[in-house]
């Protein structure tokens, strides 16, 4: 009898164990389903994307993509160092992401290496060094947007002093300062217009940006242009009653009266375009370098934030709009000659162009009209045709 009861108890225990195993397996399967990757597109950021920086601008673009294609599914990985990025790229590719955007040029080498091992995965690198069979690069001619902005800053200044708050004297930043200065002087030919530069040493340091902006207002600047990410310069402009130009994203909320517009990156526009190309099997591994938009706002990778005529008077639209159309329909560009160096020397004659790649790799000097120090030296003075108007 006891033997029979023992066998029954054993059977009961085995049945209970079986139910437990099945239940645990179902729970594990359920947990696995939750963790399953369903996104098709991934983004890798160098910095924390919830701060004022370039990663934040790319994140705004990703969110726009999600809004436009809600069934797509995207994934973002924050604060990825150069040392970590190869492992992150491999993980994202192994998870089955079809398209991976690496949003820093520092990731170029790792992307090119990993892409060889995942030929069916598409990769794109912001400001990337090179393309490959499944690697594209993307950027925009931001200097064109700064040149368009110069048409506005030149017209809007009354004192003739434009203040420029800049992070560090890289070729990129110097190129943009030169662009806004050249345009400001062009629309105010023969007038005493100058762009005064203050370096902050950082892309996001609100205290230093505020100090620089206040110093520029004290010397008479009535237009402030920023090439930094925090909105502190806009706040100073609002407080001091001067006009301002933002950078990166639309900053009007921080200076509703002072802000004319902002020079913006529209990564979302590009991401939507490229993802649609992928979905339609039209994606190509090429280097994209977008021009400033010629149409209404929102039609290019770089542009000016939308504005109304209370911000920028109607009469001021004509020259910048003409420049936009010219750049997109001809081979002309911002830094075509004549170009004058900071000391007044003609360094590029009218009708001439700098060698290919020069403004991206060698323009570490300031043009005429900039007040400030740059690390490089301008080219030698040249003979040839300069301005058609001679100022006396």
DSSP assignment letter at 81: -
Contact yes or no for 233/209 (Cβ under 8 A): yes
Length of the chain: 392
Instruction: Establish whether domains 41-140 and 142-264+301-371 are of one fold.
Output: yes
234 burial type by CB count under 10 A (0-12 exposed, 13-18 middle, 19+ buried): buried
Measured distance CA(42)–CA(39) in Å, rounded: 7
Class of domain 142-264+301-371 (CATH, top level): alpha beta
CATH topology of domain 41-140: Rossmann fold (3.40.50)
Which residues fall within 8 angstroms of residue 303, CB to CB, at 6 or more apart?
Answer: 145, 264, 266, 292, 293, 297
**pLDDT digit string (tens) for the chain, length 392 residues:** 444 444 445 444 444 444 444 444 444 433 333 346 689 999 999 999 999 999 999 999 999 999 999 999 999 999 999 999 999 999 999 999 999 999 999 999 999 999 999 999 999 999 999 999 999 999 999 999 999 999 999 999 999 999 999 999 999 999 999 999 999 999 888 899 999 999 999 999 999 999 999 999 999 999 999 999 999 999 999 999 999 999 999 999 999 999 999 999 999 999 999 999 999 999 999 999 998 876 555 578 998 888 877 788 766 666 777 787 777 667 788 999 999 999 999 999 999 999 999 999 999 999 999 999 999 999 999 999 988 887 76
Determine which helix (DSSP H) or strand (DSSP E) holds 187, and give its type and residue range.
helix 171-187
Kindly report whether the global pTM for this prediction surpasses the value 0.85. Answer: yes
For tokens 């649609």, the residue is: 276
Domain borders along the chain are 41-140, 142-264+301-371
């Amino acid at each position: 009898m006891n033997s029979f009861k023992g066998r029954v108890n054993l059977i009961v225990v085995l049945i209970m164990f079986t139910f437990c195993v099945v239940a645990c397996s179902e729970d594990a399967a359920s947990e696995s389903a939750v963790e399953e990757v369903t996104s098709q597109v991934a983004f890798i950021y160098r910095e924390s994307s919830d701060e004022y920086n370039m990663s934040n601008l790319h994140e705004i673009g990703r969110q726009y993509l999600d809004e436009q294609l809600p069934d797509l599914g995207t994934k973002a990985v924050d604060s990825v160092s150069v040392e970590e990025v190869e492992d992150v790229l491999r993980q994202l590719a192994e998870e089955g992401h079809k398209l991976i955007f690496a949003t820093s040029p520092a990731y170029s080498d790792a992307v090119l290496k990993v892409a060889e091992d995942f030929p069916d995965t598409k990769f794109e690198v912001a400001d990337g060094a090179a393309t490959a069979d499944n690697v594209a690069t993307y950027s925009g001619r931001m200097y064109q947007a700064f040149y368009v902005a110069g048409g506005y800053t030149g017209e809007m200044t009354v004192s003739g002093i434009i203040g420029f708050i800049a992070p560090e004297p890289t070729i990129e930043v110097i190129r943009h300062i030169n662009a806004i200065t050249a345009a400001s002087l062009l629309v105010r030919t023969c007038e005493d217009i100058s762009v005064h530069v203050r370096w902050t040493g950082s892309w996001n340091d609100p205290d230093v940006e505020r100090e620089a902006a206040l110093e520029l207002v004290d010397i008479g600047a009535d237009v402030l242009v920023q090439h930094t990410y925090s909105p502190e310069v806009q706040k100073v402009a609002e407080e001091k009653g001067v006009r301002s130009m933002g950078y990166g994203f639309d900053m009007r909320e921080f200076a509703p009266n002072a802000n004319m517009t902002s020079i913006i990156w529209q990564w979302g526009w590009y991401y939507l375009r490229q993802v649609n190309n992928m979905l339609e099997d039209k994606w190509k591994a090429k280097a994209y370098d977008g021009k400033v938009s010629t149409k209404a706002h929102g039609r290019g990778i770089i542009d000016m934030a939308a504005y109304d005529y209370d911000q920028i008077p109607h009469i001021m639209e004509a020259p910048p709009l003409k420049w936009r159309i010219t750049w997109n329909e001809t081979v002309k560009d911002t830094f075509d000659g004549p170009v004058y160096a900071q000391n007044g020397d003609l360094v590029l004659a009218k009708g001439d162009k700098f060698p290919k790649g020069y403004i991206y790799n060698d323009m570490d000097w300031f043009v005429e009209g900039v007040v400030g120090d740059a690390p490089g030296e301008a080219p030698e003075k040249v003979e040839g045709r300069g301005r058609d108007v001679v100022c006396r």
